[in-house]
Structure 1
Amino acid sequence: MKTIQAVARYLPEKCGGIQIRLSELLPVLQAYGVESKIAAAQDSKYENTYTHNGIEVYRYPVFPRPKAEPNHGESPHGRFEYFAHWLKEQKADIYHQHQWTPKCGLPHLRLAKELGMATVVSIRLPNPVCQRETLMLNGQEVCDGKIDRVRCSHCCGVSREISDTVIKRLAHTPLSISNLASGLLYQLKKAPAPLNTTATALLTPVSVPAYVVARRRGLLEMAEFADRIVTLSERLYETLLLNGVPQEKLIICKTGVPDVFLTSAQNVKKIPNKNLRVIFLGRWNRNKGLHILVEAVKSLPPDLPIELTIYGSAVDDERYRQKIIQSIKNEPRIRIAETLTREELPSVLATYDILALPAQWFDVRPMSILEAHTAKLPVLGSDVGGVNELIKHNVDGLLLPPTDVQAWAEAFARLSEDPNLLDKLRQGIQPVRTMSMEAADTVTLYKSILKEKAAQTESNFSNPLNFKQVISSR
């Protein structure tokens, strides 16, 4: 079985969880007889090919850099013909796309379908359904994820003084005009007031409603050209249904931790320490909520025994990082450590008492929770989608309001003052899903699609399943 795995960028560039997990999964799939090649975009005029972790990687050129909206890449990006030529030569059985951006979006998926490949799209982030890309309504509360041009427009900054009727009309603005308005707004954001505020008030309604409509259209076009859409969580599955994605296209296949994590974490012995040792893992990005942890620790009595160690990974927002650094200058209980490698992570995790995950967005399936549980660390997590599917409150962790600093501080105080609670949460941790399980389920998925495709070709009709498909446990 030959597969193409498509992403918007790839290692050894600085990448996020999507690329890291894929690089770990593909060698495991190889042991099941699945041959894979990576197709990844790069901001360049030229293509190139190399091998990473035993897998061939084709980097197709994207030039010039496409606009961020519509996010699914409604039109092919510059130099798309390089990707098209390469894909035609592969004659692969399966095309599996892991991102939904102008660099790796609808044109790529549509071409694979036209070439006769079985097509799969994995939705690993909320951006295909959410204009804010967080699934947090007004940035404050969990949203049901239904794409609505009026509600979504208000959520993304369109003034509530503009009537629903006007917003619905503005939603039909040609994308060329919306892109122009968006570009002007970007240029004027740093202009002095009142110019910047006037520009925001005038230009946001011209750009946002049309983008919301394009987002929903892109999602439904994804459903048209994908044989299966893979989700990683129950909540996201329900959100996709709510937005009109056919149930027979959807399947839940959850990610798992690399099997080596189990032995690496179990071989580390915790050194007794009077302090509550808290670890944070994640990018320097406000959506990760590190500022909530910092303020919570700083609000605790000076003599409360707690240590917070920040292992920041990629820097999405340098100003945010600098702000955090400035805020902890006089707080000896908080320190910033060097970024961990994947090899170091299991043994380092096992030396801490608890992982803190103050997500300020819908984190579809945060692997750090499973990695922490593998090392027998309970997790303090935000009570938001994705996170609350992996944490059982008061059993293997605690779920807290994402923006409530006082609630986080009180949780730290409880855990610091009551060691029995920490022991109880440790004992509540159950065995986690592994990458071997994920690989086996992925192979089952691929085989089922190919079998269905062969039957359709032979009989010239489809017989879609009419029930919710789940091929993975926790």
Structure 2
Amino acid sequence: MARLLHLIHSFPPETRGGIEAHLEHLAAAQAAAHEVSVVAGSNAERLSGRWDGNRDLRPEREQAGGVTVLRLPTETEIERFAAGGASANLARFERILDAERPDLLHVHHFAITGPGPVRLAAARGIPVVVSLHDLFTICPLFFRLRDERVLCAEDVTPQTCVECLAHSGGLRPDAVAGPFATRSAAFRDELTAAAAILPLSHSQSQYLRRVPLLAGLTLEPIGFPAAPAPTRGPLELRLPDLPLHVATWGGLVRGKGLHLLVEAATTLPPDSIELHHHGGIIDAAYRAEVEAAAGQVPLTFHGPYAPDDLARRLAHCDLAVHPSLFLETHGYTTDEALRLGLPVLVPDRGAPRERIGRRGRTFRVGDVEDLRRHLTEFVEHPERLLTLRAGEPGELLELREYRGRLDAIYDRARQAPH
């Protein structure tokens, strides 16, 4: 039995995005054979009105399914920049390392500490595995999506990053330049010190390998487990009729591209399509924007959902469309659609396209006209959705197989000299 410690930006039930859901399932499975703890960020202090960023807080400790969860107050990158790059949470995490004394640290996200956890663990002889769930190590705004619209080139200049960060955080560029340079160098050192660096997909690996800051680092894309199978099996196979029921789901932010789907739908014949969004509203102003843009196209926001409720919610869905502008490193929603037997339409960039097989199609990322072309075809020939539904999806990696690959990485890391 090993003592495993995971670090992540947040953890259920406070939030349940793809990263959090993945770690929840992984940690529960590991807890059958190991002593597992999770250090996660929490917004509870801020939401309670008791937040004082300078106060020395003890981590909140709880038990969840055999896993110990320690929650630290969420700390944002913009706050760290405003403080010259300093992180109050890093000292808190150091105390946790000393108290928990793990045999291995698995970092899933650096958002609540910034760079430093790997260095602190390595100084104590603790091997570290890092999973890169997004682009946070090279972009403080997580996704390298300029103006929430355009993916930055792999070799984007540091000055461009500084200007983007200053604009986003309401700071002066000269106040950001120093901390950003320090951050970049620190993350290079962090990843160099890690025993293994695990991107989630080949698409992500290809992008990262062309980033100058990461040159020479060994990236090991061992795959990533698909979203668990729903409690209810595949949805009933039936010939779609009009209006087509098109659904998308996940947290609502501009980068997920709902406005592209809305724009594509507005020029289709009246009463030929209806749009449904399931998930939390992260950006209320963006919701108002897409509602106004929808015009006469029916657009319904159904709100947050529990994973076990997804099959019921999508019982009448004809097509799942996930038009993300992000470089999606995995895409849990695509897994869920494929598990339910739904045909899917995804961009031609990012990890989801790697798994759709013959169950889906791709359109040019960010291209409303190309998206509209596919929707028009399905409106005019709905039977072609049946053909897609009958197609085999690509390979979906199961958690058991992924754990076997991850255990091999863990064993190698623990056996290496420190």
Among candidates 346, 353, 369, match of residue 406 of structure 1: 369
Unaligned runs of 5+ in 2: 46-56
Answer yes or no: is the 8 Å Cα contact 2:360–2:388 preserved in 1. yes
Q: Cα distance, 1:345 vs. partner?
A: 1.9
Task: Write out per-residue CA displacement over residues 405-458 of structure 1, whole angstroms, 9 at most, x where no aligned residue.
Answer: 23222211101222343233223333522222222222222122223x2xx36x
Determine the structure 2 residue equivalent to 1:281: 249
Determine the structure 1 residue equivalent to 2:130: 121
Determine the structure 1 residue equivalent to 2:288: 322
Secondary structure of the residue aligned to 1:251 is: coil
Answer yes or no: is the 8 Å Cα contact 1:265–1:349 preserved in 2. no
1:112 aligns with 2:121: yes
1:17 aligns with 2:33: no
Q: 1:48 to 1:104 in 2, by over 3 A?
A: same
Q: Cα distance, 1:220 vs. partner?
A: 0.8
Secondary structure of the residue aligned to 2:78 is: coil
Distance in 2, Cα, partners of 1:208 & 1:376: 47
Tell me the number of residue pairs that the alignment of Structure 1 and Structure 2 aligns. 401
Determine the structure 2 residue equivalent to 1:49: 61
Q: 1:259 to 1:404 in 2, by over 3 A?
A: closer
Distance in 1, Cα, partners of 2:147 & 2:89: 37
Answer yes or no: is the 8 Å Cα contact 1:232–1:253 preserved in 2. yes
Secondary structure of the residue aligned to 1:28 is: helix
Q: 1:340 to 1:349 in 2, by over 3 A?
A: same
Secondary structure of the residue aligned to 2:14 is: coil
Secondary structure of the residue aligned to 1:39 is: strand
Secondary structure of the residue aligned to 1:106 is: coil
Determine the structure 2 residue equivalent to 1:2: 3
Deviates more, 1:364-373 or 1:81-90: 81-90
Among candidates 253, 259, 265, match of residue 297 of structure 1: 265
Answer yes or no: is the 8 Å Cα contact 1:94–1:117 preserved in 2. yes
Answer yes or no: is the 8 Å Cα contact 1:4–1:95 preserved in 2. yes
Q: Cα distance, 1:217 vs. partner?
A: 1.5
1:78 aligns with 2:88: yes
Q: Counterparts in 2 of 1:16-415, with a 5 A limit?
A: 16-31=17-32, 33-42=33-42, 44=45, 45-61=57-73, 65=75, 67-68=77-78, 77-78=87-88, 80-101=90-111, 103-130=112-139, 133-136=142-145, 141-150=150-159, 152=161, 156=164, 185=170, 203-204=172-173, 206-207=174-175, 209-210=177-178, 213-242=181-210, 243-245=212-214, 249-261=218-230, 264-266=232-234, 268-270=235-237, 273-275=240-242, 276-304=244-272, 306-313=273-280, 315-328=281-294, 330-331=296-297, 333-349=298-314, 351-392=316-357, 395-415=358-378
Distance in 2, Cα, partners of 1:208 & 1:85: 29
Task: Write out per-residue CA displacement over residues 326-350 of structure 1, whole angstroms, 9 at most, x where no aligned residue.
Answer: 444643x322223221111245446
* Structure 2 letter corresponding to 1:253: I
Task: Write out per-residue CA displacement over residues 284-314 of structure 1, whole angstroms, 9 at most, x where no aligned residue.
Answer: 210011111112212211042x22211132x
* Structure 2 letter corresponding to 1:312: G
* Structure 1 letter corresponding to 2:124: L
Q: Cα distance, 1:387 vs. partner?
A: 3.5
Distance in 2, Cα, partners of 1:67 & 1:9: 15
Q: 1:416 to 1:435 in 2, by over 3 A?
A: farther
Distance in 2, Cα, partners of 1:139 & 1:326: 19
Answer yes or no: is the 8 Å Cα contact 1:364–1:386 preserved in 2. yes
Q: 1:437 to 1:349 in 2, by over 3 A?
A: farther
Distance in 2, Cα, partners of 1:347 & 1:357: 19
Answer yes or no: is the 8 Å Cα contact 1:97–1:122 preserved in 2. yes
Task: Write out per-residue CA displacement over residues 212-242 of structure 1, whole angstroms, 9 at most, x where no aligned residue.
Answer: 5345323312222211111001132233333
Distance in 1, Cα, partners of 2:72 & 2:269: 54
Secondary structure of the residue aligned to 2:232 is: helix
Q: 1:143 to 1:48 in 2, by over 3 A?
A: closer
Answer yes or no: is the 8 Å Cα contact 2:276–2:299 preserved in 1. yes
Q: What is the identity percentage for the equivalent residue pairs of Structure 1 and Structure 2?
A: 23
Q: Cα distance, 1:271 vs. partner?
A: 5.5
Answer yes or no: is the 8 Å Cα contact 2:31–2:67 preserved in 1. no
The structure whose Rg is larger is 1
Answer yes or no: is the 8 Å Cα contact 2:40–2:72 preserved in 1. yes
Q: 1:130 to 1:76 in 2, by over 3 A?
A: closer
Secondary structure of the residue aligned to 2:125 is: coil
* Structure 1 letter corresponding to 2:129: V
Determine the structure 2 residue equivalent to 1:447: 411
Deviates more, 1:246-255 or 1:428-437: 246-255
* Structure 1 letter corresponding to 2:105: Y
Secondary structure of the residue aligned to 1:129 is: coil
Q: Cα distance, 1:142 vs. partner?
A: 4.6
